[in-house]
Amino acid sequence: MQRNMAIDFIRGCAVMGILLLNIVSFGLPRAAYLNPAWSGSVSFADALSWALMDLLAQLKFLSLFALLFGAGLVMLLPRGKRWIQARLTLLVLLGFIHAVFFWQGDILLDYGLMGLISWRMIRDAHSNGMLLRTGILLYLTGSLMLLLFGFISHSAPGNSWLPGAADVQYETYWHLQGGMAAIDSRLDALGDGLLALGAQYGWQLAGLMLIGAALMRSGWLQGQFSPAHYRRIAWIFIVTGGLIDLIGILLQWRTGWDFRWTAFFLQLPRELSAPLQAVGYAALVFACWPRWSQYRLTRLISQVGRMALSNYLLQTLICTTLFNTFGLFMKLDRIQLLCLVPAIWLVNLLFSHFWLRHFRQGPLENLWRTLTRRTVGSMKPD
């Protein structure tokens, strides 16, 4: 099947955009990801950088990646049940290894698990409209669960939101020393993540996959609509989503990132805005594609998208080396962390460009495909 360069470009943007948020998890304690005042206070520069990333990137690129994952499941359907199940099971295994032995912020395991559930719903959907409505309902269900958790949660923040000095010291220790302390901490984080996946995030992730599948089946994610349509969708969705998210950002800032409000109730504007902005970003690409496709940078980013799995794991390798091995963990603030991102993007771009000059797939993509083929070949017939 001929590759869709626009889809590769969107996927490349998603993988690179995710790093804008992940860099905080690599370089600062776990609590810093959502709470800029995790240390008890926050500078104006750090608060402003948090606000800009929240408005432009937080959840947006993850949502975009989930939409494309659902679209990819549609393209895998002709290969049959055994191929899809083997492929997603291997992704779950890879995600588990990544989460336990390398980095606690892994998303591969979550995508693999929800993909194993979602692909059957995609296959059995009677219409695109049904698929889209189901996806929206699942996403809204997961988002509204935040309100329930907010009502039943304790008002006092735990160490995952406002860590004490001892908590920060221990987190710094296991990041820099590694060993069993690091593995135990990552296992704890994995357990918390799986609980969140089952209770709340999994609903959203499955919903986004179904929405992405519906958009792919309708031809929308294949660029089959008019440029005027995509321009209109981009304008409406990006602006509407941004305004919704801005309300949450201003209220979080106003409350001083109070735990109960910020961790639950005021997450809702972000959750509702993210899929709108993600769809808007995709529409913007299709609207501008006739012009953007001529640029060399566009082709380079598309190559990153072709090697999304390899580049995602390459980011982990680079960042864990910088922050854990070279000891930069807790040495940089948010602004300084963001200054590292373009350099890592450059590595992604160069790695993808030179690798694809010699090979058709990225190294991890090729391994994934090879193991899938062997696993399918070793299965008993249905």
Q: How buried is residue 198: exposed, middle or buried, by Cβ count under 10 Å (0-12/13-18/19+)? A: exposed
Residue type, 348: N
**Which tokens hold the place of 95?**
């995600």
Q: List the chain domain ranges.
A: 5-375
Three-state secondary-structure class, residue 265: helix
Whole-model pTM: value is: 0.95
Q: Which sign does the torsion angle of CA 153, 155, 156, 157 carry?
A: positive
Q: What is the pLDDT of residues 141-158, one digit of tens each?
A: 999 999 998 888 877 787
Q: What is the mean pLDDT of residues 47-61?
A: 95
pLDDT at 1 over 80: no
pLDDT at 382 over 60: no
Choose between 161 and 233: higher pLDDT.
233
DSSP 273-323: HHHHHHHHHHHHHHHHHHHHTTSHHHHHHHHHHHTHHHHHHHHHHHHHIII
DSSP 220-249: GGGT-S-HHHHHHHHHHHHHHHHHHHHHHH
**Which tokens hold the place of 133?**
């409505």
Q: How far apart are alpha carbons 114 and 321 in whole angstroms?
A: 30
Three-state secondary-structure class, residue 132: helix
Question: Any idea which residue has 């990153």 for tokens?
Answer: 304
Q: What is the structure's pLDDT at 379?
A: 63
Q: What is the mean pLDDT of residues 123-144?
A: 95
**Which tokens hold the place of 326?**
């070279």
SS (H, E, C) 174-220: HHHHCHHHHHHHHHHHHHHHHHHHHHHHHHHHHHHHHHHHHHHHCCH
User: 79-83, 345-349, 377-381: which has the minimum mean pLDDT?
Assistant: 377-381
Cα end-to-end span (Å), the chain: 26
User: 34-48, 238-252, 349-363: which has the minimum mean pLDDT?
Assistant: 34-48
Q: What is the mean pLDDT of residues 100-111?
A: 96
pLDDT at 352 over 80: yes
pLDDT at 159 over 90: no
Q: What is the structure's pLDDT at 150?
A: 86
Q: What is the structure's pLDDT at 251?
A: 96
CB neighbours of 61 closer than 8 A, spacing ≥ 6? 13, 14, 15, 17, 18, 20, 21, 278
Q: How buried is residue 45: exposed, middle or buried, by Cβ count under 10 Å (0-12/13-18/19+)? A: exposed
Question: Any idea which residue has 């989503």 for tokens?
Answer: 241
Q: How far apart are alpha carbons 301 and 293 in whole angstroms?
A: 11
Q: What is the pLDDT of residues 163-179, one digit of tens each?
A: 999 999 999 999 999 99
Three-state secondary-structure class, residue 59: coil
Q: How far apart are alpha carbons 121 and 206 in whole angstroms?
A: 10
Residue type, 95: G
Q: What is the structure's pLDDT at 380?
A: 56
Q: What is the structure's pLDDT at 257?
A: 92
DSSP state of 26: H
**Which tokens hold the place of 54?**
């929240």
User: 144-153, 178-187, 199-208, 356-365: which has the minimum mean pLDDT?
Assistant: 144-153
Calculate what percentage of the chain has a pLDDT beyond 70. Answer: 98
CB neighbours of 47 closer than 8 A, spacing ≥ 6? 36, 37, 253
| pLDDT band per the 50, 70, 90 thresholds, residue 2 | low
Query: Cβ atoms within 10 A of the Cβ of 216, count?
Result: 24
| pLDDT band per the 50, 70, 90 thresholds, residue 260 | confident
* Mean pLDDT score of the chain: 94
pLDDT at 96 over 60: yes
